[in-house]
Amino acid sequence: MMNSALSVNAGVEQPPQVNPNAAFLRRQHKLQPLSLDEYVSGILAGNRTVLGRAITLVESARPEHQHLAQKIIEQCLPHTGNSIRLGITGVPGVGKSSFIEAIGGYVIGLGNRLAVLAIDPSSERSKGSILGDKTRMETLSSHPDAFIRPSPSAGSLGGVARKTRESIVLCEAAGFNVIFIETVGVGQSETQAHAMVDCFLLLMLAGAGDELQGIKRGIMELADILAITKSDGANKDKAIAAKIQYQSALQLFPPHASGWKPVSLACSSTEKIGLTEIWKNVLDYIALTRANGYFASHRNEQAKCSMHEFIHQMLHNRFYLNPTIEQALPAIEEDILQKKISAYAGAKKIFELWNQLPTQ
């Protein structure tokens, strides 16, 4: 037993693992709390630090943070709506960060203020993105007219979509008139993104073999603009060929309700080729949809969906956070596992219990 690895042996005293002054230093750096008025006036003045802190409140799971966040949003709402919201998606490594850095610089150069928000439901990936973005969006992240916000961490209370929607509101109130919503084109997130942007840009690689492989057809159907990335060097010919191939593939899809005919383009972020053409198409898209009424009706539709999402979420939280329900669920789950009752019967049983609760 004495030599067991599980026994505790007296050892030498270890040096402290953290700087003993760390707590003191942290306190020194600890941000002073801001009042509601300070948040709102800071945001309306375009202060990026205050904006960042308000988004942190939006992302927080703590009820008092949520409460304050909702008040801030309410006061910011009258100052929003005047932006171009562009969704940018593509598989990992397609060149999203490099593209945003390159086109972002161009867009700011035209006199715009740009906010970049990322939706990334998996924490594993967001870690990678943050590291990648620090190096790939170096110029943009330090530009005074840009605001870059990586993904909220996964698993925090509330949907990622809600947080992004609320962050958009705050960014617009802070005077950012162009908002990029970046998503990784591997899961649900691009459909979520599509539901909160005006125009959707899909970045694609000129792949070997079948050009239509690797990206879900459903995502391609959402795209208003498709751009083949890395159209430079030895890859250029392949990229141009892919662009032409996609252009004909796009024509096979049903027409968009917006009245816009999706286009296929090629670009290079490193050589800064094709970026102006992509931005021109974004502006053309906005002009067309503003003129034909789709822009406004689409945003109204989004607002309606957003309300239903809120209701869904509130009901969900109220149900699952109810102590009686919380207590009763494990036994019913066990009955289902033991095949004593069906999933439907289990759901009905828990709902009967819910209906009997005095206040809901």
Ligand X SMILES: Nc1nc2c(ncn2[C@@H]2O[C@H](COP(=O)(O)OP(=O)(O)OP(=O)(O)O)[C@@H](O)[C@H]2O)c(=O)[nH]1
Report the interface residues with ligand X, using CB under 6 A. Answer: 90, 92-98, 128-129, 132, 136, 184, 229-230, 232, 268-270
Q: Report the C-alpha gap between 327 and 193 in whole angstroms.
A: 36
Q: What is the Cα 181 distance to its own chain's centre? A: 6
Q: Which is nearer to ligand X, 233 or 259 (CB)?
A: 233
Q: Report the C-alpha gap between 171 and 166 in whole angstroms.
A: 9
Q: Which is nearer to Mg ion, 105 or 132 (CB)?
A: 132
Q: Which does 109 bind (CB under 5 to 8 A by kind): ligand X, Mg ion, none?
A: none
**Interface ranges with Mg ion (CB under 5 A):** 96-97, 129, 132
The single-letter code of the amino acid at 240 is: I
Q: Which does 94 bind (CB under 5 to 8 A by kind): Mg ion, ligand X, none?
A: ligand X
Q: Which is nearer to ligand X, 184 or 225 (CB)?
A: 184
Q: Which is nearer to Mg ion, 229 or 258 (CB)?
A: 229
Q: Which does 53 bind (CB under 5 to 8 A by kind): Mg ion, ligand X, none?
A: none
- Start-to-end CA distance of the chain, whole Å, equals 57
Q: How far is the CB of 170 from ligand X (least distance, A)?
A: 24
Other Cβ atoms closer than 10 A to 233: 11
Q: Which is nearer to ligand X, 97 or 189 (CB)?
A: 97
Q: CB of 272 within 8 A of CB of 279?
A: no
CA 346 to each of CA 294, 315, 341, 353: distance values in angstroms, whole numbers, following the listed order: 44, 19, 6, 11
Q: Report the C-alpha gap between 130 and 184 in whole angstroms.
A: 13
Q: Which is nearer to Mg ion, 169 or 205 (CB)?
A: 205
Q: How far is the CB of 142 from ligand X (least distance, A)?
A: 17
Looking at residue 71, what DSSP letter applies? H
Residue whose beta carbon is closest to Mg ion: 97
Count CA atoms within 13 Å of residue 41 on its CB side.
Answer: 5
Q: How far is the CB of 189 from Mg ion (least distance, A)?
A: 13
Q: How far is the CB of 97 from Mg ion (least distance, A)?
A: 3
Q: Which does 317 bind (CB under 5 to 8 A by kind): Mg ion, ligand X, none?
A: none
Q: Which is nearer to ligand X, 189 or 258 (CB)?
A: 189
Who contacts 159 (Cβ-Cβ below 8 Å, separation ≥6)? 309, 313
Q: Report the C-alpha gap between 279 and 67 in whole angstroms.
A: 38
Looking at residue 16, what DSSP letter applies? P
Q: How far is the CB of 271 from ligand X (least distance, A)?
A: 7
Q: Report the C-alpha gap between 147 and 149 in whole angstroms.
A: 7
Q: Which does 92 bind (CB under 5 to 8 A by kind): Mg ion, ligand X, none?
A: ligand X
Alpha-carbon dihedral sign for residues 200, 206, 211, 212: negative
Q: How far is the CB of 148 from Mg ion (least distance, A)?
A: 11
Q: Which does 43 bind (CB under 5 to 8 A by kind): ligand X, Mg ion, none?
A: none
Q: Which does 184 bind (CB under 5 to 8 A by kind): ligand X, Mg ion, none?
A: ligand X
Q: Which is nearer to ligand X, 177 or 235 (CB)?
A: 235
Q: Report the C-alpha gap between 77 and 68 in whole angstroms.
A: 14
Q: What is the Cα 237 distance to its own chain's centre? A: 33
Q: Which does 165 bind (CB under 5 to 8 A by kind): Mg ion, ligand X, none?
A: none
Q: Report the C-alpha gap between 268 and 225 in whole angstroms.
A: 15
Q: How far is the CB of 100 from ligand X (least distance, A)?
A: 8
Q: Which does 230 bind (CB under 5 to 8 A by kind): Mg ion, ligand X, none?
A: ligand X
Q: Report the C-alpha gap between 47 and 42 in whole angstroms.
A: 5
For 58, the enclosing helix (H) or strand (E) is helix 48-59
Q: How far is the CB of 137 from ligand X (least distance, A)?
A: 9
Q: Which is nearer to ligand X, 98 or 258 (CB)?
A: 98
Q: How far is the CB of 139 from ligand X (least distance, A)?
A: 13
